[in-house]
Structure 1
Amino acid sequence: MSKRDSYIAAIQKSYTTDKPTIRLGSGILDGEIIKEAEIYLPLKMMNRHGLVAGATGSGKTRTLQVLAEQLSNAGVPVFMSDIKGDLSGFGQAGQSNKAIEERCQALNVTFEPQDFPIELYSLSGKLGSPMRATVLEFGPTLLAKVLDLNATQTGVLSVLFKYADDKQLPMIDLSDLKMTLNYLSDGQGAAEIKTDYGSISTTTASTILRKIVALEQQGIGAIFGEKSFDIDDLLNRVDGKGVISLLNVSDVQDQPALFSTFMLSLLVEIYNTFPEAGDLDKPKLVFFLDEAHLLFKDAPKVFLDQVEQIVRLIRSKGVGVFFCSQMAQDVPDNILSQLGNRVQHVLRTFTPNDVDNLKKTVKTFPRSDFYEISEVLTTLGTGQALITVLNEKGIPTEVAATHLLPPTSVMGPLSTADYENRYRNSELYRKYKDTVDPESAYEILTRRVEEQNRVEEREKAEQEAAKQSRSSGSRAEKSTFEQVLSAPITRQIGRELIRGVFGMLTGKKSTSRSKGWF
């Protein structure tokens, strides 16, 4: 058997299945695209998560587009971040061109333009239906990541959340958070928590408060509030196709920790609310976390531990998570080990550090009888990737350099008018566009402080009245004594006594004795 035939047999044995799948493309061997070596990803294994990695310009975004399109066609809803604001083309059927025709011919497929149901979201509310979360829903660990708090400050934040939970105190927006922080770090609140929660230093409280104010000044504090986003709205379908929900973050690109952490907060919400689903033939929902390195950059251990826990356990809820970044090393090892499906685009080796990253990436792939993996990873073309996934039995498939399918929708953004028209006419836009300000921690604690101030003022007034009463009684007694002293007879007696005393002291004789009266 020739090498080519052996390759085809190995690929077909590894990837062929009678279960629902996603067609990724066809294998490449010694520079030749082998049409018969079709590469599939079983839908059943999508909740085993995955990684799409590669250098800038290698075609990662289009790979995400192909995955999302086929998931939608299979009735699986998709949620993904739109970093540059150029993925809205999902909503419009693509057009064939020479490059697409050549790619389809090489893969022995027919190009069938399609459009897909989309929902457009935005954290600011300026580029889509606003996505919000309450402060309590966000939680202390994720909020600490957004605020860039150190371990001590994160601990204080955890105290605030614990107190709010124990006292059933709704922390909805940043005003609630600031009020709770101020209340517990001074006066009545500080005394209240000292025994059960510990004291909060004014220095730490002031630092956290400044960071909250800085976040507000950047104009993105509005993501905390009501109505908070209902996670079930990500599960919609239209005409049997799963809705592709796009979070446009192009207007908050300078706050990468914010949007990446917000997406993770949605996963936390899913984990906390979705029922256990077990092993399904296809996932309920697939998340694509683009620019994953932004999520993990300078992240504290407690944050990474939470991400690992969510990724490890959320698959039982029927949810798949795919990270997208330039290098596999952008994802921590304990999380990378949870990603069973790998799509690795070309890697560049321009620096010694790039060479080291290449060596590390090679070690993450199974051994291949058909490829020198380090060589393949540096010679892949645009729209090609080295792939290994889990088959329906959970076993890693044969490593395959793959010529990928082209997207069938527009590879770019909708026109500005079409984009705005779509989201403003969405039912979800009407649902979320107006903010709601329910009674929350700010109002509750404000009343508590005002009541305490009134009690203190009343007690102060009573003490002042009692003091004045004592002063008035003393003044009355003194005034009576002064009246007695001021009487004429009293003044006369007083003068005589004084003269007598001073007379004796000076040795003078009295007038009566000098006159011989005795």
Structure 2
Amino acid sequence: MIADASQPPGTILVGKSDHYEHLLLGFGNRHGLIAGATGTGKTVTLQKLAEGFSNAGVPVFLSDVKGDLAGLAMAGDSKAAFTKRADAIGVPYAPDRFPVVFWDVFGQAGHPLRATIAEMGPLLVGRMLGLNETQQGVLTIAFRVADEQKLLLLDLKDLRAILQFVADHASELTTRYGNVASASVGTIQRQLLVLESQGAANFLGEPALDITDFMATDRDGRGMVNILAADALMRKPLLYATFLLWLLSELFETLPEVGDPEKPKLVFFFDEAHLLFDNAPPNLLQAIEQVVRLIRSKGVGIYFITQNPLDVPDQVLGQLSNRAQHALRAFTPRDQKAVKSAADTFRRNPAFDAAEVITQLGVGEALVSMLQDDGTPEPVARTLIAPPSSRVGPITPDERQAVITAGPLYGKYDTAIDRESAFEILNSRTIGTATPPPSQPGSSPWGNTGSNPWGQTASAPAGQGSSQGQSGGFLNGLGAALGRAWNSGATSRGRMSTGQLIVRSAVQSAARSVGTQVAREIMRGVLGGLQR
């Protein structure tokens, strides 16, 4: 870690202009932007800020689209360029490594990252499938039917099963919810097949991510650095963008309101940020803007990394207070517009013309403007960015595997779970359940008293909670009891076994599925909720 005697407490050293430039931890949740052309030093700036937050005890999540951010897990190698830069800034260069957890949606370069279909919600699933308005409406009906019939939607085969059910009962559903066209159902099914061929089946399922695992610190009090291996995911930009949006909505739902804390609860760095906004419809852009604006009060900071600030919509760009602008090249009219736009967003410094300087910045230099003590942006300053103390660049597969194996989450998410859900129930595979009787002519699949399509009462017996029908109930009680037992056992015996972690994940995932229908509608996903 770089030690700077002049660095005030509660700050992160960013670099040096005519004075030291710092990011105030108390304003770390006011979001930020790191922009610049390829090869100008954006990754180094991102890595430096991530190290600073981790040292301050703030957990970090970042997407690694090129594989070079994995170096945070290894000590720096004292490259001549970095030691020279440290000398120019006036701080010592001290190699250091950081506590890292590797994640991978495809489960190859890190712990698998999964979400259930129900947690994603119809809006994000629809966006992931590229549905039009009519098809989106049919998908929303399918989710509503699953809720009413107490059918868990966990993975792709569950979604296929409920869509088939909706198609089979289209005439009854049309009078209740609106037209259910078989053509729309067919299109959704085809898109699900395409999605599956792109590897989405690895992402959709259980054990689902427990978002609190992103909020950990190590034994020294440093924030865990969660690195998403996104090099393969980047080749599927729609899946990448949808995953990031789901992650934001989960955080928004999970974390309590904290206002402006002394330091953020969690900081996100989203590389290739333009993928979040490309081809997004206006209502979804509005939802993203609202999430970015509102999640600040949850203590979460979001930092977008992109080549061109024009890639970020104005309504989102206006929420980004801490900024580092690396060099831009003005070769085309669009480039020239980007240079002017970037310069105009800074508080003017009378010592130089920001638009002119942006095209002259060298590698490792940036125009920096952070929030001051009073919450206003400081005048823009030409700044030499401080070098990170961890390795800059990729690590070997053996080094990565060693970090994964020694990590605190090893074994918790690595084995997929396939429990009873919509697919098994709708295909009569539940143990002890007879083959469902054929529907009576002219009868509704709902029966007369809120029953399911087979005449079984949807609600659980008195004193018991169904898997989706009651808040708390059996699964919550079981989860709490097992949690206390396992935590006690872990304290006395050390780290949990792989089997214990897998079973605990299943129970926690089941407990998260518990809730009243009203609660599930509210908590389906903030992005979906913002559109209702």
Partner of 2:224: 243
Are 2:215 and 1:225 aligned?
no
Are 2:145 and 1:155 aligned?
no
Partner of 1:406: 387
Partner of 1:146: 128
Partner of 1:383: 364
Instruction: For 2:365 and 2:50, locate their aligned partners in 1 and report how far apart those are by CA, in whole Å.
Output: 17
- Tell me the CA shift for residue 350 of structure 1: 1.3
Partner of 1:127: 109
SS of structure 2 residue aligned to 1:241: coil
- Tell me the CA shift for residue 359 of structure 1: 2.0
Instruction: For 2:156 and 2:88, locate their aligned partners in 1 and report how far apart those are by CA, in whole Å.
Output: 55
Q: 2:407 aligns with which of 409, 423, 426?
A: 426
Instruction: For 1:78 and 1:268, locate their aligned partners in 2 and report how far apart those are by CA, in whole Å.
Output: 17
Q: 2:187 aligns with which of 186, 203, 207?
A: 207
Instruction: For 2:233 and 2:261, locate their aligned partners in 1 and report how far apart those are by CA, in whole Å.
Output: 36
Instruction: For 2:310 and 2:196, locate their aligned partners in 1 and report how far apart those are by CA, in whole Å.
Output: 33
- Summarize deviations over 1:85-121 as a string: whole Å, max 9, x none: 2211111110213212221111010001110000011
Q: Is the 8 A contact 1:271 1:310 kept in 2?
A: yes
- Tell me the CA shift for residue 18 of structure 1: 5.4
Q: Which moved more, 1:73-82 or 1:434-443?
A: 434-443
SS of structure 2 residue aligned to 1:51: strand
Instruction: For 1:194 and 1:456, locate their aligned partners in 2 and report how far apart those are by CA, in whole Å.
Output: 18
Q: Is the 8 A contact 1:76 1:286 kept in 2?
A: yes
- The amino acid across from 1:69 in the alignment is E
Q: Which moved more, 1:56-65 or 1:98-107?
A: 98-107
Q: 1:266 aligns with which of 247, 261, 271?
A: 247
Identity between Structure 1 and Structure 2 (%): 45
- The amino acid across from 1:351 in the alignment is T
Counterpart mapping for 1:61-100 below 5 A: 61-100=43-82
SS of structure 2 residue aligned to 1:402: strand
Q: Is the 8 A contact 1:81 1:248 kept in 2?
A: yes
Instruction: For 2:46 and 2:332, locate their aligned partners in 1 and report how far apart those are by CA, in whole Å.
Output: 28
Instruction: For 1:444 and 1:390, locate their aligned partners in 2 and report how far apart those are by CA, in whole Å.
Output: 55
Partner of 1:298: 279
- The amino acid across from 2:29 in the alignment is N
Q: Cα 1:74–1:26, aligned 2, differ >3 Å: closer, same or farther?
A: same
Partner of 1:22: 12
SS of structure 1 residue aligned to 2:371: coil
Instruction: For 1:450 and 1:358, locate their aligned partners in 2 and report how far apart those are by CA, in whole Å.
Output: 68
- Tell me the CA shift for residue 19 of structure 1: 5.2
Partner of 1:507: none
Instruction: For 1:58 and 1:412, locate their aligned partners in 2 and report how far apart those are by CA, in whole Å.
Output: 15
- The amino acid across from 2:14 in the alignment is L
- Tell me the CA shift for residue 279 of structure 1: 1.3
Counterpart mapping for 1:335-346 below 5 A: 335-346=316-327
Instruction: For 2:258 and 2:264, locate their aligned partners in 1 and report how far apart those are by CA, in whole Å.
Output: 9
Q: Which moved more, 1:73-82 or 1:440-449?
A: 440-449
Instruction: For 2:51 and 2:311, locate their aligned partners in 1 and report how far apart those are by CA, in whole Å.
Output: 26
- Tell me the CA shift for residue 327 of structure 1: 1.1
Instruction: For 1:391 and 1:155, locate their aligned partners in 2 and report how far apart those are by CA, in whole Å.
Output: 47
- Tell me the CA shift for residue 240 of structure 1: 1.1
- Summarize deviations over 1:148-189 as a string: whole Å, max 9, x none: 222222232222223333443211001111111121123xx3
Instruction: For 1:359 and 1:106, locate their aligned partners in 2 and report how far apart those are by CA, in whole Å.
Output: 30
Partner of 2:289: 308
Counterpart mapping for 1:461-480 below 5 A: none
Instruction: For 2:175 and 2:254, locate their aligned partners in 1 and report how far apart those are by CA, in whole Å.
Output: 34
Q: Cα 1:131–1:307, aligned 2, differ >3 Å: closer, same or farther?
A: same
Instruction: For 1:246 and 1:190, locate their aligned partners in 2 and report how far apart those are by CA, in whole Å.
Output: 44
Q: 2:21 aligns with which of 33, 39, 59?
A: 39
Q: Is the 8 A contact 1:41 1:390 kept in 2?
A: yes
Q: Is the 8 A contact 1:121 1:131 kept in 2?
A: yes
SS of structure 2 residue aligned to 1:228: coil
Between structures 1 and 2, the one with greater helix share? 1
Partner of 1:252: 233
Q: Cα 1:104–1:427, aligned 2, differ >3 Å: closer, same or farther?
A: closer
- Tell me the CA shift for residue 81 of structure 1: 0.6
Q: Which moved more, 1:148-157 or 1:132-141?
A: 148-157
- Equivalent pairs, count: 433
Q: Cα 1:216–1:422, aligned 2, differ >3 Å: closer, same or farther?
A: same
Q: Which moved more, 1:244-253 or 1:418-427?
A: 418-427
Instruction: For 1:432 and 1:442, locate their aligned partners in 2 and report how far apart those are by CA, in whole Å.
Output: 22
Structure 2 unaligned segments of length 5 or more: list them.
1-5, 444-532
Q: Is the 8 A contact 1:185 1:199 kept in 2?
A: no
Q: Is the 8 A contact 2:346 2:379 kept in 1?
A: no
- Summarize deviations over 1:44-103 as a string: whole Å, max 9, x none: 111111111110111111111000001111010100011112211111110213212221
Instruction: For 1:157 and 1:390, locate their aligned partners in 2 and report how far apart those are by CA, in whole Å.
Output: 44
Partner of 2:176: 196
Give the RMSD, CA atoms, in angstroms.
2.0
- Summarize deviations over 1:441-468 as a string: whole Å, max 9, x none: 11223339995564569x9xxxxxxxxx
Q: 1:165 aligns with which of 125, 132, 147?
A: 147
Partner of 1:325: 306
Instruction: For 2:64 and 2:254, locate their aligned partners in 1 and report how far apart those are by CA, in whole Å.
Output: 25
- Tell me the CA shift for residue 408 of structure 1: 0.3
- Summarize deviations over 1:209-236 as a string: whole Å, max 9, x none: 1010011122332200010000000011
SS of structure 1 residue aligned to 2:175: coil
- The amino acid across from 1:315 in the alignment is R
- The amino acid across from 1:284 in the alignment is K
Instruction: For 2:408 and 2:20, locate their aligned partners in 1 and report how far apart those are by CA, in whole Å.
Output: 40
Q: 1:443 aligns with which of 404, 412, 424?
A: 424
- The amino acid across from 2:78 in the alignment is S
Partner of 2:3: none
Partner of 2:478: none
Instruction: For 2:42 and 2:126, locate their aligned partners in 1 and report how far apart those are by CA, in whole Å.
Output: 30
Are 2:39 and 1:57 aligned?
yes
SS of structure 2 residue aligned to 1:154: helix
Partner of 2:467: none
TM-score by length of 2: 0.78
- The amino acid across from 1:196 in the alignment is R
Q: Is the 8 A contact 1:260 1:289 kept in 2?
A: no
Partner of 1:494: none
- Tell me the CA shift for residue 196 of structure 1: 2.9
Instruction: For 1:167 and 1:401, locate their aligned partners in 2 and report how far apart those are by CA, in whole Å.
Output: 61
Instruction: For 1:371 and 1:291, locate their aligned partners in 2 and report how far apart those are by CA, in whole Å.
Output: 30
Partner of 1:116: 98
Q: Which moved more, 1:134-143 or 1:152-161?
A: 152-161
TM-score by length of 1: 0.80
Q: Is the 8 A contact 1:19 1:42 kept in 2?
A: no
